[in-house]
Structure 1
C-alpha cells in the first residue's frame, strides 16, 4: 500500500507528500497529526511546525532555504513563501569522515562482455568516430554519415519519412479525408528502430558515430583548446576503436593541439587516427580519401571481439535530468547504492553537474580523501559559481519551471537530492572538464548541469555507461557512451516506454527497498555493458554539446 507521506531525514522540518493530499485532510505521521489548510500535491512538501520569516527549512538533513514569509504548520512550501539558502563551506571546515561499505559478496567475480583495449582499459561498445575540428566541416561529416550508415546497415529506419510519404500519396490522389483520419503511431504499432542483431558486414563494430558542433574557430583560443581536449578524451575513450578527423586547415583548433592532448592522456596511443585537410586540395579528393581510409579502419576495428571482464572495469557516470520531487527519494539513492557497490568492488563512478551540488559542498569536502582533493573541489566550485554570479545567473536560479512544478522549490533542495547519486563512499579524486583520472573509486567531475553538456563531459571523463535519472522524462543520449534512463516514478515509466530503461518508482510505492532496486539496476547495467541496447541507442539519440566554459547551469 502506498504511504501518504515521508520524512527523508529525522532532522527535517518538512514532510514529503507521496500522493496528492487534498485541503482539509488530516495526515497522521510519527504520532503527530497535521491538518492541511491547502492541497499538497505529490512530490511537494509541507512544514511540520509554524515558521516565521527568516526561519530555516531543512530537508535531507541540510539547510535548503529560509521562509520569506510566515508559514503555518501543514502549509506547503512554495516559491512564494520560501527562498533559497544553503550552508557556507570551506576546506578549512572539513570534518573526519567514515563510512560502512555495503555487503558486495553476491557481486564478487561477476563479469560483463566488454572490449579490452591495448592500454588495459575496457569498453562497453566498439565504435568508430568521425569528428570535425571546425564547424566548417559539419556538412562533410553529415555527408559521410549518410554514405556509411546507409550502406553498412547503421542507418535508423525512416519511419517518419515513410509516414510523410504515405500522406503525400493519399493527398495527391485526392484522399485528404483519409489523411485527416489517420491514427498517430502508438508504441505497440510503431516498429522499433534498429537493434545490434541486424546482419551487418562489420558484426563487431557497434556503430560509426559522426559528431558535429559549432566551434573550432571564431571563438576564444581557450574554447578551441578545450574542444581539442574534448576530442582527445573521446579519441582515447575505451568505447572508441579509431577516429577519422576532418579539418579545414586554418582554424584555431589545430591538428597539433589535438595530437598533443591525445598523447597527454595516452602517451602510447596506438589507435588508428586519420586526419584529412580540405585546403590541401578538392573536396572530392578529401572525401574519397576519408571514405577509403575509414573503410579500411573499420575492417581493423571489426577484429576486436567482446570478452568476459570483471565488472570492476566499469566506469559508471551518475546523471539526473528532468528531475522531480521523487528524484532524491527513489532513483538517485538507488544510483547511490549502485555506486557504493561498484566502488567497494574496486570500480569507478563519476558524479558531476557542479551547479547541482550547490548546498552540499561541505559534505562533499568532508568526503574527499585528501586535503588536496578537497581544495581542488572548493576552487572549482567557487570559480564556477563566481562566474555565474558575475553575469547575474547564480546557481540558485538552477531549478527549471518543470523542476519547480514537480516539487524542487529551491536549488538546495534539488542539489541535496541530486547528490544522493554519489552514495556515501569517500571521494577519491576531483577532475576538471576533459580531465581523465587514473584513480578508482568515486570521483567528482566538473560539468554543467545541462543534460547534454553534462553527458558529453562525463563521457570525456571516461564513463563507459551513464545512468540518467529522470522524473519528467528526458530523451537524450551520447554518441559513444550508452545512456540508461532511470525513472523516479512508475507513472513516467508506463507513459514513456520508449525512453525509460529502468523504473525506480517501486521504491516510492514500497514494493522494493532501495537495496533491492539497486541490485536489479546493476543487473541491467551488466546487460547493457555486454551489448544490450538502451532506448537512447535504439532511437539514435547521439547528442553532443561541448561546454565552452562559459556560464551554463
Structure 2
C-alpha cells in the first residue's frame, strides 16, 4: 500500500502529500494520528505540528520559511500562511567527511566518445556556426538553410502538410522526398543570439567567454565564426577568451569579418567552400571507448514540482556521487535555487577559498536582483507554486539534491571552464535555457534535466536528458521525457536503483546508441545570460 505522506528529513516539521488528501481524513504517521484540516493536493505540504506566527518551518533539514500567522497541525502550507526565509551564512561551521558509494560495477565500464587532442572526450561530434554579434544573425540563418538543405535529410513536417491541406481545401498526402545525409559522423549546428554589441562592454566580454567555452567543449569538432567588424565583441576579444580557456587548442576555427570581405555573396561563397572542406575532414573522427571519468554531466531542473526534490533530483544526486567516485564530473548550477542551502555547500567545499568565492558570488547575485527591485524570494514560478513549491528556500532545498553528497571540488563563475573532476558549483541563473547554455559553455558534455511539469529545452551541441519526477508527466508528454522516476514516489524503486538505471541510460546516450527526445525534436536552445537581469 502506497504511503500517503512522507517526511524527507528526520528533523522536518512538515510532510509532503504523495496523494490527494481529503479534509477530515485521518493519517497514522510516525506513531501519531494527523487529521487533515483542508483538501490537500498531492505534492503539497502539511504541518506536522502547530506553528505559531513566526515559527520556523523545516524541510530537507533546513529552514525553508516561517509561519505567516498560526498554522494548525494537519493544515496545508500555502503562499498565504508561509513566507520565504533562509539561514544566514558567514562561512564554514564544521568539518566534512564523505563515504563514496561502491562503484566496483562501474569502474571498468566505458562509453564510445570522440577523443580530442587535449584529452577531453565528446559525446557528440558537432561543427558549430555562430556570430560574434547579432548583426550577423541573418547570415548565419542563410548558412543554416544552405547547409541543412544540402547536408541533412529533409524531413516532412506533418504540420506543413496540414496547412497545405487547409490552403488547398483538400487532403494532401504527398510525401516529400528525402536524401541521405552527406556525412554520417558529424552534425552541423547553428547558434544565433542578441548580443555582441550595445549594452555594456562586460556583457560582450561575458559572451566571448561563453562562446569560447562552446568551441572548447569536447562535443565540438570545429567552428565557423562570423564577425561584422565594428562591434563591441571584437575578434581579438574572442580569441583571447579562447586562449585563456585552452592555450593549446588545436581545433579548426574559421573566422570571417564581413566589413573586410566585400559583398555578402562574396563572403558567403568563401565561407561555404572553406567550411565544407573542414566539415568533411571533421567527419573522419570516429567514436572510441572512453573511461566514465571523461563524463562531465551538467545538473539542471526546470518546471519543477513538489515531487522533484524527493524523486528526480535525489536520483541525479546519486548519479552525481557515482561520477565523483569514478573521477568524473558533475556540475550543479542555478545559484538562485541554492538559497537556503549555502551552509551545507560551504561546509562541503574542499578549499576554504572556494567556500568564500561561493558566498561572494551568491551575495553579489542577490544584491543585483534586489537592486533591480526583486529578490530570490520571487524565484518560484506560478507553475512551481501550483505544484507545491511555495518558497524559494523550499524550492532550493529540493533543487540542491541534484548535487548529491560529495565534496565540492571547485566553484566557477559564469563562463569559467571546468578544470577539476568531482562536484563543481557554477554560477548561473535559475532560468532553464540560460542555465543550460552556461553549463555547456563551461564544458558539460551531457546534461541531466529534471522536470515535474514538463519543459522541452534542448541544446545545440550537448544531449539534454529529460528526467520526469512523476509517471503522469511521462505518460502525458512522452515526446519530451527520456526517463522517469515515478517508481520512487510509489516506493517501487530506491533512489540507488533508479540512479543505476540512469547512469546506464547516460552511457547509451553518450555513446550515440540513444538519441534524446530533445535531439529528435531538433530543440537547439541558446540564450546567454546578461548578468543581473535574470533569476
Whether these two folds match at TM > 0.5 is yes
Secondary structure of residue in 2 paired with 1:506: helix
Q: Tell me the residue number matched to 1:28.
A: 28
Does residue 337 of the first structure (1) align with residue 318 of the second (2)? yes
Determine which of 398, 402, 420 is the counterpart of 1:421.
402
**Conserved in 1, the CA contact under 8 Å of 2:309 and 2:398?**
yes
Q: What's the counterpart of residue 443 of structure 2?
A: 462
Question: Deviation string for 1:203-225 (max 9, x for gaps)?
Answer: 110x1111001111111111111
How far 1:56 sits from its partner (Å)? 0.5
Q: Provide the alpha-carbon RMSD of the alignment.
A: 1.5
Question: What SS does structure 2 have at the residue aligned with 1:393?
Answer: coil
> What is residue 350 of structure 2 aligned with on the other side?
369
Are 1:543 and 2:525 counterparts?
yes
Residue 5 of structure 1 is matched in structure 2 by: 5
Aligned pairs for 1:448-459 within 5 A: 448-459=429-440
1:161 is displaced (CA, Å) by: 1.5
Shift of 1:461: 1.0
Q: 2:40 and 2:357 mapped to 1: Cα distance?
A: 41
Partner of 1:257: 237
Correspondences of 1:77-116 after superposition (within 5 Å)? 77-91=77-91, 93-116=92-115
Decide whether the 8 Å contact of 2:153 with 2:180 is kept in 1: no
1:49 is aligned to 2:49: yes
Distance 1:61 1:499 in 2: 33
Q: Which residue of 2 aligns with 1:230?
A: 210
Tell me if 1:215 matches 2:191.
no
Q: Contact (CA 8 Å) 2:313, 2:402: kept in 1 or not?
A: yes
1:443 aligns with 2:424: yes
The equivalent residue for 1:498 is: 479
Matched, 1:284 2:265: yes
Q: In structure 2, the residue corresponding to 1:334 is in which secondary structure? A: helix
When residues 131 and 249 of structure 1 are mapped into structure 2, their CA distance, relative to the original with a 3 A threshold, is same
Contact kept, 8 Å, 1:17 with 1:40, in 2: the verdict is: yes
**In the superposition, relative to structure 1, how do residues 6 and 214 fare at CA in structure 2: closer, same or farther (>3 Å)?**
same
Please tell me whether the aligned partners of residues 129 and 210 of structure 1 are also in contact (alpha carbons under 8 angstroms): yes
TM-score (norm 1): 0.94
Deviations 1:220-247 (A, max 9, x none): 1111111111111111110000100111
8 Å Cα contact 2:210/2:442 also seen in 1: no
Partners in 2 of 1:551 and 1:221 — Cα distance?
15
Q: List runs of 5+ in structure 2 lacking aligned partners.
A: none
Match of 1:268 among 242, 248, 254: 248
Distance in 1 separating the partners of 2:470 and 2:530:
34
Asked if 1 retains the 8 angstrom alpha-carbon contact of 2:217 and 2:443, the reply is: yes
**CA distances 1:310-346 after superposition (whole Å, capped 9, x unpaired):** 1110000000000000000000000000000010011
Q: What is the aligned length?
A: 530
Q: Is the 8 A contact 1:52 1:67 kept in 2?
A: yes
Q: CA deviation at 1:199?
A: 3.9
Deviation per residue, 1:450-481 (Å, 9 max, x gap): 00000000001110010000000001111001
Q: 1:18-167 counterparts in 2 under 5 A?
A: 18-91=18-91, 93-153=92-152, 157-167=156-166
- Asked whether the equivalents of residues 156 and 539 of structure 1 are also in contact (C-alpha less than 8 Å), the reply is no
TM-score scaled by length of structure 2: 0.97
- Decide whether the 8 Å contact of 1:43 with 1:406 is kept in 2: yes
